Amino acid sequence: MKNSDKTWLEVSAADLRANATGLKRVAGSAALMAVVKSNAYGHGTATVVKALAKQADWFAVDSVKEADEVRAAGAKQPVLVLGYTLRDLMPHAVSRGYSLTIYHGESVAALAKIATPKRPAKVHLKIETGTSRQGARPEDLESLVRNIRRAKNIVIEGVSTHFANIEDTTDHSYAARQLSRFILTLRKLEGLGVRPEVVHTACSAAAILFPDTHFNAVRSGIAIYGLWPSGETKVSARALDRDLELRPALTWKTVVAQVKPLPKGTPVSYGLTEKVERDSRVAVLPVGYWDGLDRKLSSVGYALVRGRRAKILGRVCMNMCVIDVTDIPNVQVEDEVVLLGRQGRETITAEEIAKKIGTINYEVVTRINPTLPRRLVA
C-alpha cells in the first residue's frame, strides 16, 4: 500500500495484548477495565479497542462521546463513563446502556426523569477519599443513596475512588489512608443495604503494586500502553518483585522532506536561535507542534534516521522541523524517520521526551494530534 501520510502512528497489537495479559496476571481474579479515554492516551480509541477485544473485561472513557467511539469500534464489553456527564447527554447514555459515574444529587435528579424499568440507569458512585476532585464526600453518602432509592430505576452498579499520590512517590502512606477511608465507606454502604456489583479503586500503579486495592476490578490506563506510571512505580515494582514487563506499543513516524547542505555559521529556523557549528547536512521533516511535536524540543530533541540519532536544530515550527544528519550517511528524501519509538538499535522513549520538556509520559502521548492516522500493526 502506498503511503499517503507525511506523519503517522503505528500501534502494535501484540504489545497491547502482551501488556493486558501481564496486567490481568497481576490483577488476579479482578476484572481488567481498560481505560481508553483521551483517544486511548493518544494511541487511537478504535485501534486499541479492536486490539483488546478479547483481553478487556470493561472499557472506561471520560465522556459519552468517547463511549460512542468504543461502541462504534465493535466493543461488546460494558462501558463506564468516568467523567462528568452533561444532563442533555444522559438520555442517550442511558439508552445505550453506558454506566455513568455520579457523585451528587443533581445527576440523580436528572437521571430519575430518564430511567425506566425497561431502561434503568446504571451508576457508579465516586467517593472522595483525598484527591479533592470529583467525588461524593463520605458524610454525604447517606443522602445520595436515599435520593437514588427515592428515584427508582437507578441501579447502583459500582463504587469507586481514585488515589492522589500513589504514582509519584515510594512513600504510599497517603494512599493507604485513602484506601482505609474507602473501606469504611464500603461498610457504610453495606449498612445502608448497598452492595455494588463492581468495586474499583486501582489505577495502573495501584494494580501493579497493591493487591489490597484490586477488589473485583482494576482500571488500567497508562500501563496498557506499555508505559510505566512513573519511575517510582517501576522502582517499587522491582522492589516487590512484580512479574510484569511493559512494552511500549506506539511508534510515531514521519519522512524526510528535503536534504541540503548548510555552511558553518548558518542560522536555522525561526528566531535564528541556533547556528550550525560546522559545515553540515540537514534534513527537513514535515512535522511540527501542530502534530504534537512539542516546541520545547527545539534544539534539544532528537529523531531517528537510518537507525541513528539526529538532533533537532533550532525551533520546532508549526508544521516542520530541521534535524542534523551530517554524521548519518546517505539520508534520502522520504526516508522513514522515527520521532517516538524504536528504529534499529536506537530508541526514543516517551520518558526521554517528557524529561526534556518538563512533563510526564502521559502528556507526551496524549498530546499527539488526534487527527493523525493510527495504524494497527501486528
255 shares its domain with 155:
no
Question: Which residue out of 37, 122, 126, 253 is catalytically annotated?
Answer: 37
DSSP 303: E
Task: Let me know if residue 1 belongs to a domain.
Answer: no
Claim to verify: residue 270 and residue 364 sit in the same structural domain = yes
Residues 197 and 284 placed together within one structural domain of the fold: no
Residue 4: per-residue pLDDT: 85
Is residue 112 exposed (0-12), middle (13-18) or buried (19+ Cβ within 10 Å)? middle
5 belongs to a structural domain: no
Contacts with 285 (C-beta within 8 Å, 6 or more apart), sequence order: 254, 255, 256, 257, 303, 320, 321, 322, 323, 337
Picking from 269, 260, 352, the residue whose alpha carbon sits closest to that of residue 304 is 352
Helix, strand, coil percent content, the chain, rounded in steps of 5: 35, 25, 40
Q: What is the CATH number of the domain that holds 210?
A: 3.20.20.10
Same domain as 144, residue 41: yes
21 and 165 together in one domain:
yes
Q: How far apart are CA 23 and CA 218, in angstroms?
A: 9
pLDDT (tens digit per residue) in 134-188: 999 999 999 999 999 999 899 999 999 999 999 888 889 999 999 999 999 999 9
Q: Is residue 4 part of a domain?
A: no
Cα 172 to Cα 166: distance, rounded to the nearest angstrom: 6
Q: Is residue 8 part of a domain?
A: no
Q: What is the DSSP string of 111-125?
A: HHTT--SSSPEEEEE
Q: Are strands 280-285 and 258-262 parallel, antiparallel or unpaired?
A: antiparallel
Cα–Cα distance for residue pair 269/100, rounded to 1 Å: 48
> What angle separates helix 141-151 from helix 173-191, to the nearest 10 degrees?
40
Q: Are residues 219 and 133 located together in one domain of the fold?
A: yes
For residues 216 and 171, what is the distance between their CA atoms, to the nearest angstrom? 25
**Residues 146 and 220 both lie in one domain:** yes
Quick one: 30 exposed, middle or buried, by C-beta within 10 A (0-12, 13-18, 19+)? Answer: buried
On whether both 208 and 229 belong to a single domain, the answer is yes
Asked if residue 283 and residue 211 are part of one domain, the reply reads no
Residues 86 and 152 placed together within one structural domain of the fold? yes
d(CA 244, CA 238): 9
**Cβ pair 140, 108 in contact under 8 A:** no
- List phi, psi (to 5°) of 314: 65, -165
Residue 302 is a catalytic residue: no
Domain with residue 303: its CATH number is 2.40.37.10
Q: What is the pLDDT of residue 1?
A: 46
Give the residue from 215, 239, 263 where a domain finishes.
239
Which residues of the chain have a pLDDT value below 50?
1
Report the Cα–Cα distance between both ends of the chain, in Å, rounded.
16
Residue 239: what pLDDT? 92
Q: Does a structural domain hold residue 83?
A: yes
**Which of 218, 239, 260 is the last residue in one of the domains?**
239
- On whether residue 7 sits in a domain, the answer given is no
Residue 162 located in a structural domain: yes
d(C-alpha 94, C-alpha 71), whole Å: 14
Identify whether residues 368 and 336 lie together within a single domain: yes
Q: Alpha helices, DSSP H only, in 165-320? A: 173-191, 204-209, 231-239
The reply to whether 54 belongs to the active site is: no
- Domain end residue (candidates: 239, 259, 286): 239
Active-site entry in 122, 260, 270, 275: 270
SS3 category, 35: strand
The C-alpha cell 503517522 sits at 8
97 close to 114: Cβ distance less than 8 angstroms: no
Q: What is the pLDDT at residue 211?
A: 96
Q: Answer whether residue 318 is part of any domain.
A: yes
| 288 and 178 within one domain | no
Q: How confident is the model over 327-363, as pLDDT tens digits?
A: 999 999 999 999 999 999 999 999 999 999 999 999 9
The C-alpha cell at 3 is: 503511503
* pTM summary value: 0.95
Structural domain count, the chain: 2
Name the residue range of residue 264's domain.
Answer: 250-377
